[in-house]
Amino acid sequence: MKSIIILSLLLFCSCLCARGLDYRLFQYPVEDAKKSASSVYPVFMAYIVGENKENRIPGVEATHIDIIKKKYRVKIMNEFRLYDHSEMGIDEKILLERYCTRYNRQLVNSLGL
């Protein structure tokens, strides 16, 4: 019985690793943004979408995007997409959009932009 449970857990973990996203990173966007705002180098979150691999920074007004790109760092949450040419699933898009939006809005509020 133990071997079946261990085998199923290993199979589940390998499926998550093969997918490319680390779901542990997407649990607490507000708390992560507050930690980033209190650090020396705040980091905004973005993700790659589309055929030409554009960065999308959700939750930020268009007037702030230039300031963010010049003054702050931007981390791409799904950078494995630079090398992977498969289609992004709807669940991955929703997860990335939701996390990045909540994170970036909290960071903008914490920094006073």
Is residue 84 situated within a structural domain?
yes
Is residue 4 situated within a structural domain?
no
Structural domain range at position 67: 25-111
Is residue 71 situated within a structural domain?
yes
* pLDDT above 90: residue 95: no
Is residue 17 situated within a structural domain?
no
* Cβ atoms of 103 and 29 closer than 8 Å: yes
Looking at residue 12, its amino acid is F
Alpha carbon distance 15, 71 (integer Å)? 37
pLDDT digits (tens, 9 = 90+) for 3-60: 777 766 776 655 544 555 667 777 888 998 999 999 999 999 988 877 777 788 888 8
Is residue 73 situated within a structural domain?
yes
Q: What is the mean pLDDT of residues 86-106?
A: 85
Alpha carbon distance 108, 36 (integer Å)? 11
Domain count, the chain: 1
Is residue 64 situated within a structural domain?
yes
